[in-house]
Chain A
Amino acid sequence: MAAFGTGAGRPLGRGGSPGFRFTVYAVLAVVVMYLDQRGHYLYQVRYVLQAAVYPVQLAVNSPAAAWAWLKETSQARAALEAENARLRERQRDLELQSMRYEALARENGELRGLKEALPPVADRWLAAEIVGIQQDSLRQKMLLNRGAANGVFPAQAVLDDKGLIGQTTHVGPWSADVILITDPEHAVPVRVERTGLRTIAVGAGDASSLAMPYLPGNADIKTGDLLVTSGLGGVFPEGYPVARVTEVHRDAVQPLAQVRAKPLAHIDTDTEVMLVWFRAGHPAAPVAESGGADLKSGNAAMQPQPAPPKPAKAPAPEPAKADAPKATDAPKAEDAQ
């Protein structure tokens, strides 16, 4: 230890006594926390730090990536051919299914009283590779290899071909952190496809289940029900599949039903996911401002919009601006980060 020359008589460090330095750093930490939490003032700082740590993140995840690559390249030709045949079959099925899509979309628009069919709510999408994943009972997160350089923004929806995966939280220039729907801290507003019942699906901390803690004991829900996003909360658009109910427990003494659902997305086996941009102004689109957390009262624009906009010639009576939010007190967007 003598190498470091830290005798008892030597003053410690450069900036005064440990107590003074501790006070300085503690105050700095609290200020940083306040700025990051309250005002999101540290977006730029975070962005730079995110970029700085990305090489390390890539490096620590490279053994897993190398293993996946090795497995893929060493696959037998027969296995690849079988996969190819299966994919071709699947593509044919999908094409058959989508053949009538345009006609149905127009028909649907006519039924809703619109002149023209609405374009699909997803405007464009970008495939992103998962470069890191953390799945334990405390955190369910992943790191994607796309960032602000690709136009990714915080609180962007992430899907795979089967359903919802999560949303981005911190976005760096070339990488983005994603919080999964199964994270215990994440809640996604959902709707039961069969009945239209709205509730919130909270992550349960493992890749195969979501909990619905706010359903009363007599709620109309049963095993096998499909849950889709309800469009509330301002992050996910309406109508994307989320999970299927696997378990419903009703206990006469408990006021609430205990409901579990299994996410449809293959969260633990995916290697690629989709980042999606939605058409602003579309009835099913999430509202641009997702700031549920810093709204004092509800935001009228964050309400679900199941009905198409009214025809222009019969303008709806303009509600007074002041009491509009009061009348439509939005449930707090629990998934807003």
Chain B
Amino acid sequence: MMAYGRARLLFASFVALILTVLPLPSWLDVLRPQFLVLAVLWWSVNSPGTGGIALGFFAGLLLDVFQGTVLGEHALALSIVTYIAVREHQRIRTKPAIQQAMIVFAALIVYEIVLFVIEGWTGHLVASPLRWVHTVTGALIWPPAAAILAYAAERRA
């Protein structure tokens, strides 16, 4: 059963990665939620055994390579967020979707703050307010995204 879940997890993460790095026109790009972060969060909350911090770390490392940032930057940010999600997964899981979206919003803010701080330290800071837009769109898209992920994970399982 575990391996079955893991294959689906990898597939969903891969699709989320594609959606995250797919080239889009710049106005859409600003609005684009971080799909990979959302997928990793969903898995950490709903199946911390298969997802969890290792998933967060390696997904973050992939984002670092795709986005050309310092290796470890997204990895650390995602590790922190998944750690919170795994720790609190039982509390988050039972909440209704709207409240979950609020929690996801907070998690995305934490994620972005960590990125912001690391970029500041390493001297690659891009201090544009537009970088925070995805936290809002990510929270807004959470209820449908969570439903799709639940469907993908549970179908024929």
Interface residues of A, Cβ cutoff 8 Å to B = 1, 3-6, 8, 10, 12-13, 18-19, 21-22, 25-26, 28-33, 35-37, 42, 45-46, 49-50, 52-53, 56-57, 59-61, 64, 132-139, 141, 169-170, 177, 179, 184-185, 205
Given A18-B48, A32-B71, A53-B62, CB of A25 within 8 Å of CB of B54:
yes
Given A6-B47, A10-B49, A13-B49, CB of A185 within 8 Å of CB of B76:
no
A60 CB contact (under 8 Å) in B21, B75, B154: B21
Structural contact, A56 and B18, CB atoms closer than 8 A: yes
Note all chain B residues with C-beta closer than 8 A to A184.
Answer: 126, 128
Structural contact, A29 and B26, CB atoms closer than 8 A: no
Known: A3-B5, A184-B128. 9 other contacts (CB 8 A): A6-B49, A18-B52, A22-B79, A25-B53, A25-B54, A33-B118, A50-B65, A136-B29, A139-B126
Note all chain A residues with C-beta closer than 8 A to B70.
Answer: 33, 36-37
Note all chain B residues with C-beta closer than 8 A to A136.
Answer: 26, 29-30, 130
CB A273 to nearest CB in B, in angstroms, measures 17
Q: Which 10 A-B pairs have the closest CB atoms?
A: A33-B72, A32-B72, A29-B76, A22-B83, A136-B26, A3-B157, A36-B71, A4-B47, A29-B72, A29-B75
State the CA gap A36–B157 with chains docked (Å). Answer: 41
CB B82 to nearest CB in A, in angstroms, measures 8
CB within 8 Å of A: which B3-19 residues: 4-5, 17-18
Structural contact, B79 and A26, CB atoms closer than 8 A: yes
Interface residues of B, Cβ cutoff 8 Å to A = 1-2, 4-5, 17-18, 21-23, 26, 29-30, 46-50, 52-54, 56-57, 60-62, 65-68, 70-73, 75-76, 79-80, 83, 86-87, 90, 93, 118, 122, 124, 126, 128, 130-131, 153-154, 157
A137 CB contact (under 8 Å) in B52, B79, B130: B130
A-B contact count (CB 8 A): 143
24 sampled A-B residue pairs with Cβ under 8 A: A1-B47, A4-B2, A4-B47, A4-B153, A12-B48, A12-B49, A18-B83, A21-B54, A22-B80, A25-B54, A25-B79, A28-B72, A32-B72, A33-B76, A33-B122, A35-B71, A36-B72, A45-B71, A52-B65, A53-B65, A57-B21, A134-B29, A137-B30, A137-B128
Structural contact, A42 and B154, CB atoms closer than 8 A: no
Structural contact, B90 and A8, CB atoms closer than 8 A: yes
